[in-house]
Amino acid sequence: MPRSLFGDFVARSSAAGRLVVQPRMGFGDPGVMRAGLVDVHRADATSIGTITLDSYTRVGELDAARQALAEGADLNGYPIVVHGTPTNKAVVEGLLGRDFPIQVRHGSARPQDIIASSLRAGLDATEGGPVSYCLPYGRISLRDSVRNWEESCRLMTDSRGPGCEPHVETFGGCMLGQLCPPSLLVAISLLEGLFFRWHGVRSISLSYAQQTNAEQDCGAVRALRRLARLFMPDVDWHVVVYTYMGVYPRTASGARLLLEQSVDIAVRTGAERLIVKTAAEAHRIASVADNIEALEAAADADRQARAAGLAAAADAETADDADTLEVFDESLSIVTTILGLHEDPGAALQEAFARGLLDVPYCLHADNMGRTRSYIAPDGRLRWSDTGALPIRTAGRTAETGRMTASDLLDALSCVQRSFDHAAVRHARQPGRRVHLIL
């Protein structure tokens, strides 16, 4: 089975019992970007490099990116298209290799120029997807996004050759970052993975973002792995967990506990890679030093979790606990229904959203029907309060009190932040005791 530089590094690290950790950071200045990659490579962690792009490049406003560079403005990422191939190659020269893959992260529903520029620089690992980089962020239609990602897949597969096997990470398990019940995250993550597979990509990672209850999250990751084995047996794949993407704890200790919990989730479920967040997230844009601190904290938590015997067994995804079975059953129903709409996953995704068979709660995109709603149950699990036309059964698991009010929604959005800041206070009173599985 073909394995990319990126996928090979993750596979070797996982086989050695190490969680691969990765930051999300990007800088407009090529020298600063390279220095950041050097520091990530030197970190006391099994790390992968990241080049995160700026907001102008993500939406194709390249003239604005050029002007910002000319004026010496600080961009919130690296403008890979504007800098050009010689500069891009110089940024990664001597760093990119078998022991230090680098991924380009961008957030674009029009990624063709980004992917072409990345490939010319030798960077063949990226991420995104026709749904996950359209509905939460884009103003373009889902139809256009699907077409753009079809073209992008062709760019990647056409580049395949000695030393180049493109890798794509689906962002589908991170829809809106929060308040999306796990079964829908798992289903969209897998469906985007199947979209990439349909268009010839042979090295894929499937994402899942930490939510509000660690036991439910563990069940979701196990379900995702089980579904991947069923639907993608001919693809080199692995699972990447994202540390919580919503409102972050305001205290450094609360942020550390949340990061440690995301590590525990990854280790307990056999996930091979983790995207970290930093303690600075609640206050400012993270610096290189902030990211290195988070990477090394995650690596330390990984070592502690494995020493404590939390590492997943080889068949962890076959677990029959209630959370795993619930997420698996709901996700499987969604996936099989959507795949039955059309043999082409891109066409199936478009029809599914048009009919409400896929429907993301609290998402305002014009192509999202917007009939589903979720809530946080007293035990911290994310539940459906309204499933709309989703092809799932939730008997006994939906809310009886109706939809959340605006006040309820704001309260739910800050639930994790409050819980982990309070947990940090309790933890400070019990030094030396490992805290995990909050909520």
Residues 6+ positions from 8 with CB-CB distance below 8 Å = 98
Q: Can you give the pLDDT at residue 404? A: 76
Mean pLDDT of 361-368: 94
pLDDT average, residue stretch 183-193: 98
**Residue 162 pLDDT:** 84
Check residue 28 and report its DSSP letter.
S
Q: Among candidates 380, 336, 326, which has minimal Cα distance to 358?
A: 336
pLDDT at 439 exceeding the cut of 50: no
Give pLDDT tens digits for 49-96.
999 999 999 999 999 999 999 999 989 999 999 999 999 999 999 999
pLDDT of residue 320: 81
Long-range CB contacts (within 8 A, 24+) of 317-321: 317/222, 317/223, 317/224, 317/225, 317/226, 317/229, 317/269, 317/270, 318/222, 318/226, 319/219, 319/222, 321/215, 321/219
130 Cβ contact partners less than 8 Å away, ≥ 6 residues apart? 109, 142, 145, 146, 148, 149, 192, 195, 346, 349
pLDDT given at position 180? 94
The reported pLDDT for the residue numbered 225 is: 97
State pLDDT tens for residues 212-250.
Answer: 999 999 999 999 999 999 999 999 999 999 999 988 889
Task: Report pLDDT digits (tens) over 118-127.
Answer: 999 999 999 9
Within 16-72, where are the H helices?
A: 30-42, 55-58, 62-70
Q: Determine the Cα–Cα distance for residues 230 and 331; give it in Å rounded to an integer.
A: 13
Distance between CA 235 and CA 205 in Å, rounded? 10
What's the whole-model pTM score? 0.94
Report the distance separating Cα 216 and Cα 181, nearest Å: 10
Q: What's the pLDDT at 177?
A: 79
Of 184-198, 280-294, 302-316, least confident by mean pLDDT is 302-316
Cβ atoms of residues 128 and 107 within 8 Å: yes
- pLDDT at position 230, please? 97
Q: Which of 201-215, 382-396, 420-434 tops mean pLDDT?
A: 201-215
403 pLDDT band, cuts 50/70/90, is low
Question: Which stretches of 129-246 are DSSP H helices?
Answer: 142-158, 182-198, 214-231
Asked which of 174-188, 251-265, 307-321 is least confident by mean pLDDT, the reply is: 307-321
d(CA 200, CA 194): 10
CA–CA distance, 10 with 345 (Å, rounded to integer): 27
Give the angle 198-326-385 at the CA atoms, nearest 5°: 100
Strands 373-376 and 382-386: antiparallel
CA 300 to chain centre: 21
pLDDT at 109 over 50: yes
Q: Any idea of the CA torsion for 96, 102, 106, 108, to the nearest 10 degrees?
A: 90
- Is the pLDDT at 398 greater than 90? The verdict is no
Confidence tier at 366 by pLDDT (50, 70, 90):
very high
Confidence band (pLDDT; 50, 70, 90) for 430? low
> Exposed, middle or buried: residue 393 (CB in 10 Å: 0-12, 13-18, 19+)?
exposed
Give the pLDDT confidence score for residue 438 in this predicted structure.
42
394 band by pLDDT with thresholds 50, 70 and 90:
confident
In this model, does residue 392 exceed pLDDT 60? yes
Percent of the chain with pLDDT over 70: 93
Of 1-10, 100-109, 151-160, 300-309, least confident by mean pLDDT is 1-10
Mean pLDDT over the full length of the chain? 92
Judged by average pLDDT, the poorest of 15-19, 90-94, 134-138 is 134-138
Parallel, antiparallel, or unpaired for β 236-242 and 273-275? parallel
- In Å, how far are 124, 189, 204 from 7, measured between CA atoms? 11, 17, 8
Residue 391's pLDDT is 97
Q: CA dist 417 to 140, 164, 366, 388, 439, Å?
A: 32, 41, 30, 29, 11
Considering the chain, what percentage of its residues have pLDDT values greater than 90?
78
Write out the H or E segment, with its range, that includes residue 169. Answer: strand 167-170
Q: Are strands 203-209 and 273-275 parallel, antiparallel or unpaired?
A: unpaired
Output the CA–CA distances (angstroms, integers) from residue 273 to 14, 236, 320, 435, in the order listed: 8, 14, 23, 21
User: What average pLDDT score do residues 187-191 get?
Assistant: 98
Domain 5-317 classification at class level? alpha beta
433 has pLDDT over 50? no
Tokens of 30: 């090529």
Q: Which residues contact 389 (CB under 8 A, 6 or more apart)?
A: 355, 356, 357, 359, 369, 371
Predicted pLDDT at 413: 84
Q: Considering only CA atoms, which of 176, 331, 297 is closest in space to residue 244?
A: 176
Parse the chain into domains and list their residue ranges.
5-317
